[in-house]
Chain A
Amino acid sequence: GAGVSQSPSNKVTEKGKDVELRCDPISGHTALYWYRQRLGQGLEFLIYFQGNSAPDKSGLPSDRFSAERTGESVSTLTIQRTQQEDSAVYLCASSLQGSETQYFGPGTRLLVL
């Protein structure tokens, strides 16, 4: 596809359940980012992947959050034992190696009841 894609577009879950969010970056983009956006707020950096380098996990808010990436393609963000405060839009972005310009997907809207 032409852009970053994310799935599901919406997810409603019960408190305590685990959720898995998926991101497909733009083909050829080696860098991949996850952000969280709470209602009416800006974007919070969560994690960054670049090629085979160790990911920068400095933005993950707790050990309930984890992310993986398969090579230079798909990434999954997993939230274990979800809490109501995890409700937000989770955005994925990708960029070419060496470029600061990030291109975003449409996001996954997560609602924890």
Chain B
Amino acid sequence: DTAVSQTPKYLVTQMGNDKSIKCEQNLGHDTMYWYKQDSKKFLKIMFSYNNKELIINETVPNRFSPKSPDKAHLNLHINSLELGDSAVYFCASSQRSDTQYFGPGTRLTVL
């Protein structure tokens, strides 16, 4: 069983579109995260939710909106996609501030 899963694995879309990436974890963790890895391979945290409450919100454009329907899910919605949004997005989860476990990533390409 996959511990942290993301869908879709690949996402190709046009500029200006709105898209969502879904993340689910079956580890029973209470904290989930979104990271972005750009073309230079730097991995940066974007958001973190603990028990559906936003607790980390880095400097991210307002076009990015995380949504946590329950503790096991953290979705990332992106409005008005731009070329610079092309990246690999990773979801992760942890039990509070313990070790984080990452998903396989979603490669987003904006044309």
The answer to whether A binds B is no
> Chain A: residues with CB nearer than 8 A to chain B?
none
